[in-house]
Amino acid sequence: MMNNFSEQFMKLFRLPLFYVPFIFSLLLNLLIWLMIILRMPVTSSWIPLHYNAHLGIDWIGPWILIFIYPGIGLLAIIVNTILIYYLSRQEPVFLPLLSFISLLVQLIILTGIIVLLIKYFV
């Protein structure tokens, strides 16, 4: 069973429509983690966690909750990879769509973190 899984996964990893968005998604997720670790102030008070262009700050909380964003991004990569693994055997047409969805999720999270950092922590 495990040998079959690794063979199937390695077969998927040879396809550029899978590995290019996968690697870029991982790199963007790593960038999000680094931006938060290096730029967010560690404080005992609450910080803005979400900024809305129409309403301003709409979510505040302890600074540790900012790690929800890269965690959601990593979860999106994992779930999409699992879906790609199972669906590639039945419906290979979904491979490019699912591969680029995790990349899109990382870009959206990165944009939100950049706006939050520029607006309130620079």
Integer Cα distance of 22 and 40 in angstroms? 26
42 is a domain residue? no
The reported pLDDT for the residue numbered 107 is 97
Query: Is residue 110 within 8 Å of 31, Cβ to Cβ?
Result: yes
- pLDDT over 90 for what percent of the chain? 40
Token readout for 6 is 């690794």
Integer Cα distance of 28 and 52 in angstroms? 22
85 is a domain residue? yes
Integer Cα distance of 117 and 119 in angstroms? 6
Mapped onto helix, strand or coil, the DSSP state of residue 121 is: coil
Supply the pTM of this predicted model: 0.86
44 is a domain residue? no
The pLDDT tens digits for 71-100 are 999 999 999 988 888 887 787 777 888 889
Residue 52 has pLDDT above 90, yes or no: no
Beta-carbon count within 10 A of 47 CB: 19
- Boundaries of domain holding 77: 2-37+49-120
Helices (H) and strands (E) in the chain, counts: 4, 2
The reported pLDDT for the residue numbered 1 is 54
The reported pLDDT for the residue numbered 72 is 96
**What's the number of domains the chain is made of?**
1
Section 35-44 average pLDDT: 85
59 is a domain residue? yes
43 is a domain residue? no
